[in-house]
Amino acid sequence: MAGALLEVQGIVKRFGGFTALNGVTLHVKAGERFGLIGPNGSGKTTLINCISGALAGYAGRIVFDGGDITTLPAHRRTRLGIVRSFQIPKPFTSMTLQENLDIPLEYAARERSQDAAADAAAILDSIGLGAKAHLKPAGLTQIEMRKLELARALAARPKLLISDEAMAGLSSAEVDDILAILFRLNEQGITIIMIEHIMRAVMRFCERIAVLDAGQLIAEGTPQEIVRNHAVEKAYLGE
């Protein structure tokens, strides 16, 4: 499909006898703000894991930026520009915040970064963690940890950023904080896939939304279309 940065074609993923994804096909356009929602256990994180390369052994095809990445290991996909943040933050605990960002700057974005130290400091500043750059992650608050996840993802210079429930458990003000950061990133040209349960964030942020339920795509469209979609209502609220 022309203009699509990411194309996911017929992804099927099984865990033993359990089918987590049953033939999911979707595409994300370059520069788009894309939402992926669905009830718990619908397969969102599994899909993200397949796209980012954290999971292997799935059937189907994934095309990114014109190239087939289906069999590439995760670190190669990151270098190509697919970066994900983790639902439960996974910082490098023995390193300072700055050093945490040095890793992706060095490994994922080497060609795209001139001065790693300055870049790391700049990213931390832009996201509000500049003051803590030389501290270790142990003392961070919840929202600071989430910001660190995003900052680290940014340091990998993503073309496509997958934000996996970055706002879960945050206060309303904190949600707005993260949302502002994501809007800003999108303005800079980064395509964003947002996985969230916080509906007001999804409605405000996303241009297009895909809904998963029990491993299948049940609806796709603008926020207004999704809200009115009967199948979506059924998936979330039951009959």
Partner 1 sequence: MARTVPALIVGLLVVAAGIGLVTLRVNPYLYFAGYVILQYVVIATAWNILGGYAGYVNFGTPAFFAMGAYTSVFLIQSTRAPLPVLILAGGLVSALLGLGIGYLTLRLRGVFFSIATLALSIVLQTMIMNWEYVGGSRGLSVIRPSGPPFGNYVMFLFTVMVTLAVVAVVTARFIERSWVGRGLAALRDNEEAAECMGVPTLRLKLFATTISGFLLGVAGAPFPYYVTFVEPNSAFNLDYAVNALAMPMIGGTTSWVGPVIGAVLLGSAQQLATVTISSEMNLFIVGIVLVAFVVLAPEGLLGLVRRLRGR
Positions that interact with partner 1 (CB under 8 A): 52-54, 73-75, 78-79, 83-84, 86, 90-95, 99, 102-104, 106-109, 152, 155-156
Q: Which is nearer to partner 1, 57 or 238 (CB)?
A: 57
* Minimum distance, C-beta of residue 69 to partner 1, in the bound complex (Å): 14
Scanning 61-112, the segments in alpha helix (DSSP H) are: 74-80, 97-107
Instruction: Please name the helix (run of DSSP H) or strand (run of DSSP E) that holds residue 126, with its range, or none.
Output: helix 116-127
- DSSP symbol at 237: H
Instruction: Please name the helix (run of DSSP H) or strand (run of DSSP E) that holds residue 125, with its range, or none.
Output: helix 116-127
Q: Which is nearer to partner 1, 20 or 151 (CB)?
A: 151
CA distance 91 to 208: 30
* Minimum distance, C-beta of residue 79 to partner 1, in the bound complex (Å): 5
Calculate the dihedral angle through the C-alpha atoms of 190, 196, 200, 205, rounding to the nearest 10 degrees: 10
* Minimum distance, C-beta of residue 94 to partner 1, in the bound complex (Å): 5
Q: Which is nearer to partner 1, 104 or 213 (CB)?
A: 104
Instruction: Please name the helix (run of DSSP H) or strand (run of DSSP E) that holds residue 34, with its range, or none.
Output: strand 33-37
Q: Which is nearer to partner 1, 67 or 73 (CB)?
A: 73
Name the residue among 52, 48, 46, 53 with its Cα closest to residue 14: 46
* Minimum distance, C-beta of residue 123 to partner 1, in the bound complex (Å): 13
